[in-house]
Amino acid sequence: MIANNLPALLVVLPLLGAPLCLLFGRSRLAWLIATLIGWLGLAISVALLLRVRDGSVLHYAFGGWAAPWGIEYVVDPLAAFVLVTVSLIGALVLPYAWRSIEREIEPEQQALFFPLLLLCLAGLLGIVITGDAFNLFVFLEISSLSAYALISLGRDRRALMASYQYLIMGTIGATFLIIGVGLLYSLTGTLNMADIAERILPLTAKNTLRTAYAFITVGLALKLAMFPLHLWLPNAYAYAPSAVSAFLVATATKVALYAMIRFIYSVFGVEFTVAQMHEDWLLIPFAAAGVLIASIVAVFQHDIKRMLAYSSVAQISYMLLGIGMFSVAGLTASLIHFLNHALIKGALFFALGAVFYRIASTDIDAMAGIARQMPWTMAAFVLGGLSLMGVPPTVGFISKWYLILAAIDKGWWLLVMLVLASSLISVIYIWRVIEAAYFKERPAAAPSVREAPLALLIPTWLLVAANLYFGVDAAHTAGLAGEIAVRLMETP
Amino acid sequence: MDLQAARIALALALPFLGALGIWLSGRTPNRREAVTLSAAIALLLTVLSLLPAVLAGERPAWTFGELVPGLAIAFRVEPLGMIFALVAALLWPINSLYSIGYLRGNAEKHQTRFYIFFALALFATMGIAFADNLITLFIFYEFLTFSTYPLVTHKGNEAARTAGRVYLGILITTSIGLLLPAIIWTWSLTGTTQFREGGILGGYLDGPLLGLLLCLFMFGIGKAALMPIHRWLPAAMVAPTPVSALLHAVAVVKSGVFTVVKVLLYTFGIETLQGQSAADWLLYIASFTIVVASIVALRQDNLKRRLAYSTISQLSYVILAAAILAPLSLVGAALHIAAHACGKITLFFAAGAIHTAAHKTQVSQLRGIGWRMPWTMGAFAIGSLSMIGVPPAAGFLSKWYMLVGAFEMQQFLAVAVIILSTLLNAAYFVPIVFSAFSTPRPDDAATHGEAPLPMVIALCTTAALTLLLFLFPRIPLQLAEQMVGYAP
């Protein structure tokens, strides 16, 4: 009974857990429930991945209503892969958050944190698992609305402005998406993504279809912070509480990216997107510009959280490059980076959160000389940074390897140089932090601090360990990503 | 896992475990130093135990695992790697002895950190020496860069930080910007990155594209310090002298030229390169580096900087010898890796001993110092002879093979360069030795004697090794001949 309903449980558990947590307020019980749900979610995702590892597809009719009428949940290897990524980060953020939010959220608002985070998690998992275009929009709104609220919990008053900015941009994106989905419905009379994919095959010459496509891609591009639609992201991630930044950077934009892959490859099909809509002409130039410009902007940031936020824009552009190549190699690179970037940025934001816990700032000047007082935290930051640069044996290297390989296969040498240039720029901005933390003296007025508590260090180091482990033994992740890429390219 | 594979694994594990042991025993200096020395000696014994099999023509191999499908982290001991591993493993215990004397004599801070990263650098060096494919080599190559960064910036002051930036900046820019794409290009062409006798690129590329790939590889291997990417080497001289000695005379720079030779031999293949005019530039750029670096060395008054530029010039000997593409000159290249290591480490040891005992760093201050520090300056003289290439020092042997190879291929440019640079080498080393043993200035009020005993023992040992390598070159010679395919 439970085994058959796993797809539903994955979304329903956090959805029900959210009000439950609210009932317990600021007590430790709320945290325990949320963490338990987070870990259950991870277990369910892994179970689902194991079930579809052979390439099969799980269909789950929600409430027993068969596909075209009811909402269908579909778990194929791609969905399972993303589910595991998202719930893994969720499962690590929740235990981390307990100590982290103590310092970063006003006491009277702390009760809101766990319910909101669970809602956001439910929304993100729902986007990934659903097979229904309208349902996808609903989940997108659930996750986005809770994300706006989560960001606004930040103590810095600028968090409110950042959240508002994100709200405006995000709502435009969501509106575009729903307009696109509406057009598709008017054209095909169905909201089931697999059905839409079948029925639009004879309709590819219709302007309505093209309009729908344009609305959907631009809407999702806003949500996933594709350059130059990324303007909401740096502020949102810089002023949100650290646990929120870590969670959103590793999952929210990724899931929007997943939705984009779904629409481009599975619903509209490669044939239509490339031959008629020339999606590659849209993605490659903007992504290339994003890789370079966002990296350069990152170098000039004083706030390290902001710096990492810009770096995320560049890293998302890496994934868009892979998607825009429309080749198995490119898609493989993109999917591997999907997981890898979550691990890298998760580790870095966790380490920064630990720094913030002690010195209440992530400004580069405030972090001067901090490595002597917080050696473990900064060592985690260094390892995460090495992974971001793409130094072997870390996951960052694996990502870079596949992306460059894909570009060479296409013969795009300019792109190869661009990717390499951006990783060299990442050396510069990471090393700024390392030099400040290790070589400079602590500012005279700064109080002496201790190492971060274990409750923060353990999740951080778990992610660092994952960075190293999947950097040495990438056979499984790369193999899975390769298989998924082949499937996606095959679908009509 | 058979016995030979276990030995490879052990050779990699020992320095790593050594680092761990040093960290754990960091509070008691004596125990910490004992751990360093025992790890070093155990490593030497392990590497030696691999030697008979390799001499007998076996190629012990060990696969650690697969990074991604088709890309393995694998090790295989071939003759060139054996020479390199032997040199590094032989000099580490001696260097550790020296480090103990130097760090205590100069009361350096953060000694535990120093020993930890030193051991980690040796771990990386072993990985490079035994790597069976480009990807494994690249992983350890990068590891070496990062593990030596804390050593270069050991002093932690502004000068060290600036030097660290140059060091890391150049090495990382070249390795990520040039070497990595070269490796991925090779993989994309051939579907393998393994080192194979005869090379893997034959038939895949020729003409200008081959020249371009060669260019990516040669400048990508920044540790080989071909001009114009040599600046990191003099910059790294801010490090404490033991670091300059082992890392910038042996491990780091030799990893560079070792990789160069390995790529030329086993990735491109000598036959692929012969007759490709697009590959000629390597000979010219190596010649240029040899001559120009020697001239720059001539003008340096700081002893360590002079040694640094001499290293740049000597490294290009190895590249030049490999670029001649004659079997005999390749033998010379392999021998020079060993010969230069022994000679240059002696010179650096001497420079550090002078700094510790007399607090002098400039060449112009050394007049008459030989009478106070006879052992140190005697060893320095032997090291100098090896650099110049005069018998009875090891440098003569390698130069001999290079010259014979150059004549065989009728590369008269190379012959001219070797002869010219020999003169230049003499011009910047002989005066130091002469002034050291001339009468001290009358106003010289120095009262110091020799440096601490461990340092003197260390530098005399390496000087003796330089002579022994000339007198008994059988083992490295056999290995080098195996490398180019002569019957043993």
CB spacing of A404 vs B172 below 8 angstroms? no
Taking residues A48-61, report their average pLDDT: 88
Q: Which band of pLDDT confidence, cut at 50, 70 and 90, is reported for residue A1?
A: low
- Residue A349 in any domain: the answer is yes
Q: Which of B176, B189, B216 to mutate to test the interface with A (most CBs of A within 10 A)?
A: B176
Q: What is the pLDDT of residue A14?
A: 92
pLDDT digits (tens, 9 = 90+) for B130-153: 999 999 999 999 999 999 998 888
CB spacing of B67 vs A390 below 8 angstroms? no
Residue B265 has pLDDT above 60, yes or no: yes
- Pseudo-torsion of CA B56, B62, B67, B70, nearest 10°? 60
Residue A443 has pLDDT above 90, yes or no: no
Helix (H, G, I), strand (E, B) or coil at A423: helix
Taking residues A256-278, report their average pLDDT: 87
H or E element in which residue B63 lies: strand B61-68
Other Cβ atoms less than 10 A from the Cβ of B404: the count is 15
Separation between Cα atoms, residue A380 and residue A348, nearest integer Å = 8
Taking residues A454-481, report their average pLDDT: 90
Given CB atoms, is B189 within the 8 Å cutoff of chain A?
A: no
Query: Chain B window 102-161: which residues touch A at a Cβ cutoff of 8 Å?
Result: 135, 138-139, 142-143, 146, 153, 156, 161
Taking residues A264-276, report their average pLDDT: 85
CB spacing of B65 vs A400 below 8 angstroms? no
A348 touches A308 (CB < 8 A) = yes
Q: What is the pLDDT of residue A35?
A: 92
**What residues does B71 pair with on adjacent strands?**
B68
Q: What is the pLDDT of residue A426?
A: 92
Given CB atoms, is A392 within the 8 Å cutoff of chain B?
A: yes
Question: Quick one: which of A117, A140, A118 has its CA closest to A130?
Answer: A140
pLDDT digits (tens, 9 = 90+) for B355-392: 888 888 888 888 888 888 888 888 999 999 998 888 88
Chain B nearest-CA distance from A422, in A, is 10
CB spacing of A424 vs B161 below 8 angstroms? no
CB spacing of B69 vs A409 below 8 angstroms? no
CB spacing of A405 vs B168 below 8 angstroms? no
Helix (H, G, I), strand (E, B) or coil at A42: helix
Nearest by CB to residue A472, choosing from B67, B161, B173, is B67
B466 touches B383 (CB < 8 A) = yes
pLDDT, averaged across chain A: 89
- Residue A272 in any domain: the answer is no
Does the N-terminal peptide bond of residue A393 adopt cis geometry, omega within 30 degrees of 0? yes
DSSP code, position A59: E
> Buried b vs exposed e over B261-297: b needs ≥16 C-beta within 10 Å?
bbbbbbbbbbebbeebebbeebbebbbebbbbbbebb
Given CB atoms, is A390 within the 8 Å cutoff of chain B?
A: yes
pLDDT digits (tens, 9 = 90+) for A411-423: 888 899 999 999 9
Question: Quick one: which of B56, B74, B78 has its CA closest to B65?
Answer: B74
Q: What is the pLDDT of residue A203?
A: 83
Q: Give the distance from CA A198 to its chain's centroid.
A: 29
Separation between Cα atoms, residue B387 and residue B379, nearest integer Å = 13
Q: Which band of pLDDT confidence, cut at 50, 70 and 90, is reported for residue B203?
A: confident
Q: Which band of pLDDT confidence, cut at 50, 70 and 90, is reported for residue B488?
A: very low
Taking residues B175-181, report their average pLDDT: 90
Taking residues B160-178, report their average pLDDT: 89
The chain B residue lying nearest A432, using CA atoms, is: B165
CB spacing of B165 vs A439 below 8 angstroms? no
Which value, in Å, is the radius of gyration of the alpha carbons in chain B? 21
Helix (H, G, I), strand (E, B) or coil at B167: helix
Segments in B153-207 forming alpha helices (H)? 158-174, 180-190
- Residue A13 in any domain: the answer is no
CB contacts, 8 Å: A474 with chain B: 67-68
Q: What is the pLDDT of residue B444?
A: 67
Chain B nearest-CA distance from A310, in A, is 21
Given CB atoms, is B188 within the 8 Å cutoff of chain A?
A: yes
Separation between Cα atoms, residue B247 and residue B244, nearest integer Å = 5
Helix (H, G, I), strand (E, B) or coil at A303: strand
In chain B, count H helices and then E strands. 21, 2
Residue with tokens 């936020």, as numbered in its chain? A309
pLDDT digits (tens, 9 = 90+) for A119-129: 999 999 999 99
User: A62-66, A227-231, B188-192: which has the minimum mean pLDDT?
Assistant: A62-66
Chain B nearest-CA distance from A264, in A, is 27
Helices B303-323, B281-298: inter-axial angle, 10-degree rounding = 160
DSSP code, position A262: I
- Residue A408 in any domain: the answer is yes
Q: What is the pLDDT of residue B486?
A: 60
Going by their DSSP bridges, the two strands B61-68 and B71-76 should be labelled as antiparallel
Q: What percent of chain A has pLDDT over 90?
A: 48
**A103 CB burial (10 A radius; 0-12, 13-18, 19+):** middle
- Reported ipTM: the value is 0.85
Taking residues B178-189, report their average pLDDT: 90
- Residue A435 in any domain: the answer is yes
Number of domains composing chain A:
1
CB spacing of A393 vs B69 below 8 angstroms? no
pLDDT digits (tens, 9 = 90+) for A312-342: 999 999 999 999 888 899 999 999 999 999 9
Q: What is the pLDDT of residue A36?
A: 93
Q: What is the pLDDT of residue B487?
A: 45
Angle subtended at Cα B269 by Cα B268 and Cα B275, rounded to the nearest 5 degrees:
95
The chain B residue lying nearest A437, using CA atoms, is: B156
CB spacing of A408 vs B184 below 8 angstroms? yes
**A176: which residues sit within 8 A by CB, 6+ positions away?**
A215, A216, A218, A219, A222
Segments in A105-200 forming alpha helices (H)? 110-129, 133-152, 158-188, 193-199
Q: What is the pLDDT of residue B240?
A: 85
Written as one string, the DSSP assignment of A273-297 is IIIIT-HHHHHHHHHHHHHHHHHHH
Q: Which band of pLDDT confidence, cut at 50, 70 and 90, is reported for residue A465?
A: very high
- What are the structural domain ranges in chain B? 3-483
Q: What is the pLDDT of residue A63?
A: 77
Q: Residue A481 sits in which domain range?
A: 279-492
